[in-house]
Amino acid sequence: MGEVPLARLWQLDDGTSCLLLKDQRAENWELRVVRHADILRTERFGSPIVAMDQAKHWRANYDRSIQSSN
């Protein structure tokens, strides 16, 4: 058994979403940004808490509504 998606941490109107995944064979957690079938960004973390915190920062990079309000 490979990666298991555990949570969708955020999703945008353009189809971009951020997923938290766990590979049962590994001790780390994967954070992945996808748009439809394309993987835009991925990184591995030792802690799901750190990964979820990073997801908040990544959202600001992909969410145009946040960028335009600043």
**Residue extents of the structural domains in the chain:** 3-69
Q: Which CB contacts under 8 angstroms, 24+ apart, belong to 56-62? A: 58/18, 58/31, 58/33, 59/10, 59/12, 59/18, 62/12, 62/16, 62/33
Phi/psi at 64 (5° precision) = -65, -30
Q: Does pTM surpass 0.75?
A: yes
* pLDDT single digits (tens) 13-61: 999 999 999 988 888 999 999 999 999 999 999 999 999 999 999 999 9
Query: What is the C-alpha to C-alpha distance for residues 32 and 45, in angstroms, rounded to an integer?
Result: 11
| pLDDT exceeds 60 at position 1 | no
Alpha carbon dihedral 20, 2, 37, 45, in 10-degree steps, equals 30
